[in-house]
Structure 1
Amino acid sequence: MDPNNQEPEEYGHDGDGETPRQRPPRDSLTSDFGQHTPVVARTVQLVSGDYLLTVNPVDGSEIEACPPGERPPRPVKFAPAERAETARAAQPPVPPGPARPRLPLLERQEERERLVRLLARGRSVRLTGPAGSGRTVLLDAVAEDCADLAPDGVVRLTGYRRTASDLLHDLFAAVYKSDLHRPEREELLRLVHEIGAVVVLDDVEFGGSALDELLDATPECAFLISATPDVPAPSADSLLEEVFLGGLDRAGGLELLERAVGRVLTEDESNWAGDLWFESEGLPLRFMQAGALLRQRDELRADPNAFDSLGFYDDAPSPRLSASLEPGDTPDAPSDAEDGHDLPLPSLAEGAAPASLLASRLSASARETLKFAVALGGEVPHQTHLPALVDDTHADAALAELLSCALVSPVGSRYRLAAGVQAQLEAAGYATGADARALAAAQHYAWWAGHPSVTPERVSAEADAVLAALTVLVPLTTPPGENEESAAVLLARHATPAFAAGLHWSAWERALRAGAEASRLAGEVGDQTYFHHELGILALCCGQLDRARAELEASIGLRGALADKRGTVAGRRALALVADRSGAALPGGRTAAGEEVPDARYEESASPPGGVPAGFGLPEPSGDGTTLVTHRTEPTPARQGPVSVKGIVGGARRNLVAAGAGVLLAGVLGTVVTLGMTSNNNDDPPAEKVGVNPSASQGIDDDSLGADKPRKDTGDSGVAGVPTDPGPDGTYGTADDPAPSASARPSDDPTGTKGTTPSTSPSKSPSKSPTTKPPTSSKPTTSNPTTTPPTSTPPATTTPPPTTTAPSTTDSASGPASSSAPATGSGTASAPQSSGAGSPSDSDPVI
């Protein structure tokens, strides 16, 4: 393409010049600096025992019983090539720059051969030695010699801040293919029982019964364990062989120093090394650091300005040089290095504690890296993080400087400050500004751990540095200002999901507890609910049901205060699973599905599954004399045994007595009210004005007596009606009267009469027996029928014909259906249901 003479298609047109074509899209050159679309939360689904765990960093992890289709197959072991690749990935990173020469293992040949013989016979050995005695180097040599002893090869593990359970899971992950699968305890023990390997375990921090548990779980493995003398010893009946590792002798110390310097020592240097050997008890680490001091001395003797470019004299002068300076003077070079041959040897104190002097002659990036390591409790950040932390694009080379001076040592897949270095650097002032550096490291790790391109395995590998930053910041946490976030809370929120997905669950628990405390101090209730929820999920996965219930209930309570519906649902599901596993009912009136039960439901007493028997377990009558029985549809536990017949009979008797008392009371009240309503203001007694058969007439516009007409399609409702026709003789209550209707409609006339038909006397007087049915009012209640019968109604001028029939009783818990007719026996325990909004149903009693 000619940039000066463009063709038509280069302007967006085809060659014919007619139809324009669309130019292909061009990727933005500033995509990293523009506004990004919000990244979807990274969720990971894994299997933990019988559970399917979905790690959700937003609303909290969700857990459920693992469906059969989601269960992983039985794990298989790695092939030898895969096992070798896994072992290489677990080694600490190689620093940039030229490879360092590997020093030989001096005066350890006897211990090396003994350890190999014991491991070849299947015996487990505990190698005990002080920090700096060269235990890790000896383990590396023995591991090379035992590469072909066991069918599963050699497995390298670190015991630094690891428990016996953590090491069992680490051993499982090193031998088996187990992507996103964490077996439960029983399955884990069954799988590690089949591992046959030489396990090299460095920096173990436990002993006694915990160590016995680890050895008993792996009977086919031979362990080579290294520990310091302050670690608890194995139990008395343990089968571990004990091997103690001491320091080098004088000749070995001098040889190691010569190899570290790379030349033969002078007589003065040999004498100085002899004094150092006596002071350090022959620890190889001290001779490695002394060799670094002599190399720096050689560089200064060759070039007095060798360390000027590193900022040595301007930033951190040597203590000896500073003591010889006058106030206000700044040295350009060592005062005794002008001739290039008179630079004195370090003092014995500097040789025994050389960290500050060695660090003062390192580059600015290396010194800043040491300050970050001091702030993080000795944890050295990974070399890929150093450029961002130190603000130097070439800061990753600082790790090589620290290794050459033996200021750091490997621990698993990372580096830490060597033994005694942190205390020496703190004394030299390297701890100044430690809180600010820990805050900067926390902010960096929070951004990095939450980035979608960072895998959970990488975050888990940096767990110790992340946890160290949390340890420093949590006690310093205060409520953040407006539009600010707590660095400790933010780091915990971003790191904990990665630890969970990376199956580093010991770090997950520590980060969760640190985050819960930081969110409490910061007043971040929403984050506090998240951490409590995750702690409950973790406890449930580990089989700690009581702790899981406590954490989940705390989380649900806080989420309820925040009206967090999604989080509350996740918490209730997990709590229901806890209740299911423990076999206990959910507290607070919750169902098995985790739903809240209304107050009216769990305040009622539970009924047996077969319904409520008549008169059995009924509540006491309330003050208004009304009894209501409802049918509960809530599922109840199975009946423990058959219902007692004695209890049913006793309850039926109480129902009979209550029904009879109700009938008698309604009759008395009806009589009293009727007499009061029909009396006049004169002195005549009411009995002279009211007959036993008051008159009643048909309405003008209908043929009724003001009562409801029965429906033709209904049968006998069990309630006696009022006669509507006097018959041929014109007298009510005689034998020739037609049969009364089964039910009557209430009259709209309050008096109950519309005509002038004279009343007639009955053929015989009513009985005085108490069993005689009392008169009732024919005036209806205008309101709709309810499930509770009224206690009394206003009287009317008409009364039903007297009868000598005794009222029948009912075993219904609602009492008599009406006071105007005898009630029929009923065996039901539920109240009558209304069939309409405007009139009572056919089966309802007539008031």
Structure 2
Amino acid sequence: MDPIHRGPEEFGHDSDGFAEEAGRRRPSRDPLTPDFGQQTPHQARVVTLVAGDLLLTVNPVDGSEVELCPPGEQPAAPVRRTPAERADRARAAAPPVPPGPPLLQLPLLRREDERERLSRLLARGRSVRLTGPAGSGRTALLDAVAADCAELAPDGVVRLNGHKRTVTDLLYGLFDAVHDAPLHRPDRPLLLEKLRSTGAVVVLDDLEFGGAALDELRDATPECAYLLAATPDVPAPGADSHLEEVFLTGLDRATSIDLLERVVERPLTEEEANWAGDLWFESEGLPLRFVQAGALLRQRDQLRTDPTAYDEYGYLENRPADAPPAPEDAADGDAATPLPSLGEGAAPAALLASRLSGAARDTLRFAVALGGEVPHQAHLPALVGDTHADAALGELAGCGLLSPAGSRYRLAAGVLAQLTAAGYDDDAADRARTAAQHYAWWAGHPSVTPARAAAEADAIVAAMTQLVPGEEAGQTSAAVLLARSAAPAFAAGLHWGAWERALRIGQEAGRLAGEVAEEAYFHHELGVLALCTGNPDRARAELETSISMRGALADKSGAVAGRRALALVEDRTGGPAASVPPLGDETPSGPFEASPPPGVPAALPVSMQRAFDDTAVVPRQEAPPAGKAPERGGPLALLGGARRNLVAAGAGVLLAGVLGTVVTLGLTSSSDPQGDPGASTEQSVTGDDGITDDGTTADEPADGTTPPVRESGSASTSATPGPSDSGSAPAGAVSPSATSSAVETPSSPDAPSSPSATESSGVPSGTTKPTPTKSATASSSPGPSESESGSPSPTETEEEPTPPESPDSASGPSGGLSESPSVL
């Protein structure tokens, strides 16, 4: 008995019943993927290549890493390709042959003169610019001339296409066509060195620039002869470029009708010939218009004939296989299938597309959605949803709706505008999104080589461009996914022009979609690209942005990769950018009023200045001679030093206490009936040691009460006694104010004040406004005061003297300069 698959005998059923039950079971669903064993996730494709002197590791996960190339990793010098290698590469770079019946090969009609002239000029080493309108047959003429000049130059003929290519792209394309250097992108000096010795005939179609850019291209390759093809709207070359100009015009009437007969493969009827003549006048003889007109006549012939003779399986959808055959007289040209109108002949794209298969029309809709870029035929079955959709490319090419562009196809000139007017862009956004999703899966698949992805770069970039900025939900996210998958493939395939475009579109799409992690990745890749192309400033800006964004997302591995690249940028440029000036180099907005006092260490510079300084600067004042009052408005003394300021502030407070004590004793003496009525406040004046005559200190009066001290908002307070009404006190003497006992006399700021009897150290101190003083003693004259300077000199009351400086001792102003604060 099988322990896992139990037999029918365990349940009492015979084998027949079990077989019947098994036969009635629903068959298992087919697997969605082929059974190749256990499916493993795709490995990230990491490619290492050399760019100049840098070793670049393309990492699709965390971002590319770049470092200096170690000595052992230096690539070999580029070698020239042999003629056989150049031929193989040229065949690989040609547009693919569409599947299905072979296309009709048309001869080059009435272009012998232009062909011979171009070949002759190139043989002389001259460069030629071929200018002609779109559809004039420039590409066919270039093919013929390239075949004639195959043996002229030592490096042969190099075919390039300038569609959406810059000068740098073309220079590296020329280098790759002549030299074999796998996984090596030389820097600018080595590139120019190799191109200076390159001798080839460069056939460049679809040129999109001129002027200085064209001069740069030619100056980099002095040994090359150029055959350039451009439309008249492309900027002209410089005045000193020495380019030969050849203008290509349309065909004449007879040649146009001959070309139309070759396309239809039969002689034209008289009606068709007249119609062709009108078309020649309308189209100015452009060969492309007659190729498309021949396709219209072939379709008309098919409609007039039994379709079963050409389509056994009902391939043509415009006429089903079971439809009745056309009448026998249809071959006579009846009105059932008339000739196209002149307008339809001049713009035949919509009419031609309406008579094609459904797969061909869907291919045209995808091409319109991609801005004219036609996907490779290998992608059409997946995009269209038809396994035979690759044959649609042959239908479109046979009708003249496609034109070759390098190794791919694009819509022919004027076809995009005609299809857009016919409504083929109605679902362009949805089809562009479908193409983006398909290319995102395909470009990121490990089986797809970078070279194949680079060959499809135009269509991939076009899909991203159509989705950014997207108006519908999910479009920008699809563009981000496509750029994330295709950008590493472009980098590894050395198609750095497409790499840069994909990164910039992806960065913008990530910003619009709000995908910060993906946006940081694109910034990192742009920084690495700028570093490898010799732009360190741009590299620093992109890398710093990426590091900050990844730091906010806590992406440690990505931030580490960014810091490594940024360190290499700083190493190659000699250090970080001087975005912030170093400390000590800042220039203040205005001069400081004073410098810090000596001995104090200077503080580090900060962005904000200090609110105030500890040191105030005042002018120095000379002491007036003894007996002469100082003049009003004289300069103040210069006081300096933080310690002296503090001592002077304390002296001011002490002076206020002494004066308060004097006033208190005076009031006490007047209120005592047994006291001496003639006593003055001089009895309580303190000496130099701060002790009064009665043995008490200045801060402790005799009666034990605390004298009131007026406070001020300044650092120290200086009290000024009021002036005497009988005359000025001697200079240098400490004299109380002599006022009547019944009148309140305010102290005047114009009168001289008594200097302090104590020695101070000089600190700028504010002065308080003098307040009224009420005296209780009626004294007609001030009492005697201790003075060592002789008899005092009276001061005239008309003058408004400024207060003198306080002397070092009680000797008055004649004792020298004062170090005490001035009392105003």
- Give, as a single letter, the amino acid of the residue that structure 2 aligns with 1:525: V
Match of 1:309 in 2: 314
* 1:436-485 deviations in Å (ceiling 9; x for gaps): 110110000000000000001101100111011101112116775xxx99
Say whether residues 1:53 and 2:56 are aligned partners. yes
* 1:406-426 deviations in Å (ceiling 9; x for gaps): 000000000000001111111
The one of 350, 361, 365 equivalent to 1:356 is 350
The one of 119, 127, 130 equivalent to 2:122 is 119
Cα deviation, residue 364, structure 1: 0.7
* 1:317-344 deviations in Å (ceiling 9; x for gaps): xxxxxxxxxxxxxx98999985663132
Task: Go from structure 1 to structure 2 and tell me whether the alpha carbon gap of 1:390 and 1:118 turns closer, same or farther (over 3 Å shift).
Answer: same
Match of 1:220 in 2: 223
Cα deviation, residue 36, structure 1: 1.8
Cα deviation, residue 616, structure 1: 12
Contact 2:306 2:326 in 1 (8 A): no
Contact 1:208 1:232 in 2 (8 A): yes
Contact 1:478 1:522 in 2 (8 A): no
Say whether residues 1:569 and 2:560 are aligned partners. yes
The one of 379, 383, 386 equivalent to 2:377 is 383
The one of 535, 560, 572 equivalent to 1:581 is 572
Contact 2:63 2:521 in 1 (8 A): yes
Task: Go from structure 1 to structure 2 and tell me whether the alpha carbon gap of 1:479 and 1:575 turns closer, same or farther (over 3 Å shift).
Answer: farther
Contact 2:464 2:479 in 1 (8 A): yes
Say whether residues 1:556 and 2:550 are aligned partners. no
The one of 517, 520, 537 equivalent to 1:526 is 517
Over aligned residue pairs, what C-alpha RMSD do you find? Answer: 3.1
Partner SS, residue 136 of structure 2: coil
- Give, as a single letter, the amino acid of the residue that structure 1 aligns with 2:232: P
Across the two proteins, how many residue pairs are aligned to each other? 563
Q: How does 1:287-436 map to 2 (within 5 A)?
A: 287-303=290-306, 309-310=314-315, 312-313=317-318, 341-342=333-334, 343-436=337-430
Match of 2:501 in 1: 510
- Give, as a single letter, the amino acid of the residue that structure 2 aligns with 1:205: E
Match of 1:498 in 2: 489
* 1:113-146 deviations in Å (ceiling 9; x for gaps): 0000000000000000000000000000000000
Which stretch of the first structure deviates more once superposed, 35-44 or 400-409? 35-44
- Give, as a single letter, the amino acid of the residue that structure 2 aligns with 1:130: P
Match of 2:146 in 1: 143
Contact 2:469 2:476 in 1 (8 A): no
Whole-Å Cα distance in 1 between the matches of residues 86 and 603 of structure 2? 76
Cα deviation, residue 303, structure 1: 2.0
Contact 2:304 2:326 in 1 (8 A): no
Cα deviation, residue 165, structure 1: 1.0
Say whether residues 1:536 and 2:527 are aligned partners. yes
Whole-Å Cα distance in 2 between the matches of residues 153 and 129 of structure 1? 26
Match of 2:282 in 1: 279
Say whether residues 1:258 and 2:250 are aligned partners. no
Task: Go from structure 1 to structure 2 and tell me whether the alpha carbon gap of 1:99 and 1:31 turns closer, same or farther (over 3 Å shift).
Answer: closer
The one of 68, 72, 83 equivalent to 2:71 is 68
Cα deviation, residue 181, structure 1: 0.6
Say whether residues 1:456 and 2:450 are aligned partners. yes
The one of 84, 95, 99 equivalent to 1:81 is 84
Cα deviation, residue 39, structure 1: 2.1
- Give, as a single letter, the amino acid of the residue that structure 2 aligns with 1:499: F
Which stretch of the first structure deviates more once superposed, 306-315 or 579-588? 306-315
Task: Go from structure 1 to structure 2 and tell me whether the alpha carbon gap of 1:139 and 1:339 turns closer, same or farther (over 3 Å shift).
Answer: closer
Gaps of 5+ in 1: 1-27, 316-330, 590-601, 606-614, 622-656, 659-847
Cα deviation, residue 580, structure 1: 1.5
Whole-Å Cα distance in 1 between the matches of residues 111 and 478 of structure 2? 48
Contact 1:131 1:419 in 2 (8 A): yes
Cα deviation, residue 45, structure 1: 0.5
Cα deviation, residue 37, structure 1: 1.4
Task: Go from structure 1 to structure 2 and tell me whether the alpha carbon gap of 1:336 and 1:472 turns closer, same or farther (over 3 Å shift).
Answer: farther
Whole-Å Cα distance in 2 between the matches of residues 620 and 411 of structure 1? 70
Contact 1:372 1:437 in 2 (8 A): yes
Residue identity (%): 69
Q: How does 1:438-453 map to 2 (within 5 A)?
A: 438-453=432-447
Match of 2:205 in 1: 202
Cα deviation, residue 239, structure 1: 1.3
Which stretch of the first structure deviates more once superposed, 243-252 or 540-549? 540-549
Task: Go from structure 1 to structure 2 and tell me whether the alpha carbon gap of 1:561 and 1:297 turns closer, same or farther (over 3 Å shift).
Answer: same
Task: Go from structure 1 to structure 2 and tell me whether the alpha carbon gap of 1:333 and 1:580 turns closer, same or farther (over 3 Å shift).
Answer: farther
Match of 1:156 in 2: 159
Cα deviation, residue 430, structure 1: 1.0
Whole-Å Cα distance in 1 between the matches of residues 331 and 505 of structure 2? 58
Contact 1:256 1:287 in 2 (8 A): yes
Instruction: Name the TM-score, length of structure 1 as normaliser.
Output: 0.63
Whole-Å Cα distance in 2 between the matches of residues 526 and 149 of structure 1? 54
Whole-Å Cα distance in 1 between the matches of residues 418 and 232 of structure 2? 22
Partner SS, residue 475 of structure 1: coil
The one of 167, 171, 176 equivalent to 2:170 is 167
Task: Go from structure 1 to structure 2 and tell me whether the alpha carbon gap of 1:211 and 1:30 turns closer, same or farther (over 3 Å shift).
Answer: closer
Task: Go from structure 1 to structure 2 and tell me whether the alpha carbon gap of 1:230 and 1:604 turns closer, same or farther (over 3 Å shift).
Answer: closer
Whole-Å Cα distance in 2 between the matches of residues 282 and 334 of structure 1? 34
Partner SS, residue 201 of structure 1: strand
Task: Go from structure 1 to structure 2 and tell me whether the alpha carbon gap of 1:399 and 1:29 turns closer, same or farther (over 3 Å shift).
Answer: closer
Whole-Å Cα distance in 1 between the matches of residues 514 and 177 of structure 2? 41
Whole-Å Cα distance in 2 between the matches of residues 175 and 351 of structure 1? 44
Whole-Å Cα distance in 2 between the matches of residues 375 and 513 of structure 1? 20
Match of 2:607 in 1: none
Partner SS, residue 73 of structure 1: coil
Task: Go from structure 1 to structure 2 and tell me whether the alpha carbon gap of 1:368 and 1:586 turns closer, same or farther (over 3 Å shift).
Answer: same
Which stretch of the first structure deviates more once superposed, 422-431 or 195-204? 422-431
Which has more radius of gyration? 2
Cα deviation, residue 71, structure 1: 1.2
* 1:320-374 deviations in Å (ceiling 9; x for gaps): xxxxxxxxxxx98999985663132111111111111111111111111001001
Task: Go from structure 1 to structure 2 and tell me whether the alpha carbon gap of 1:617 and 1:91 turns closer, same or farther (over 3 Å shift).
Answer: farther
Partner SS, residue 468 of structure 2: helix
Cα deviation, residue 585, structure 1: 2.5
Contact 1:409 1:416 in 2 (8 A): yes
Contact 1:555 1:571 in 2 (8 A): yes
Task: Go from structure 1 to structure 2 and tell me whether the alpha carbon gap of 1:375 and 1:192 turns closer, same or farther (over 3 Å shift).
Answer: same
Contact 1:152 1:196 in 2 (8 A): yes
Contact 2:136 2:286 in 1 (8 A): yes
Cα deviation, residue 270, structure 1: 0.9
Cα deviation, residue 266, structure 1: 1.2
The one of 114, 133, 137 equivalent to 1:134 is 137
Contact 1:477 1:486 in 2 (8 A): no
Task: Go from structure 1 to structure 2 and tell me whether the alpha carbon gap of 1:126 and 1:147 turns closer, same or farther (over 3 Å shift).
Answer: same
* 1:214-246 deviations in Å (ceiling 9; x for gaps): 011101100000000000000001111100000
Cα deviation, residue 265, structure 1: 1.1
Gaps of 5+ in 2: 1-30, 586-597, 605-640, 643-824
Contact 1:479 1:523 in 2 (8 A): no
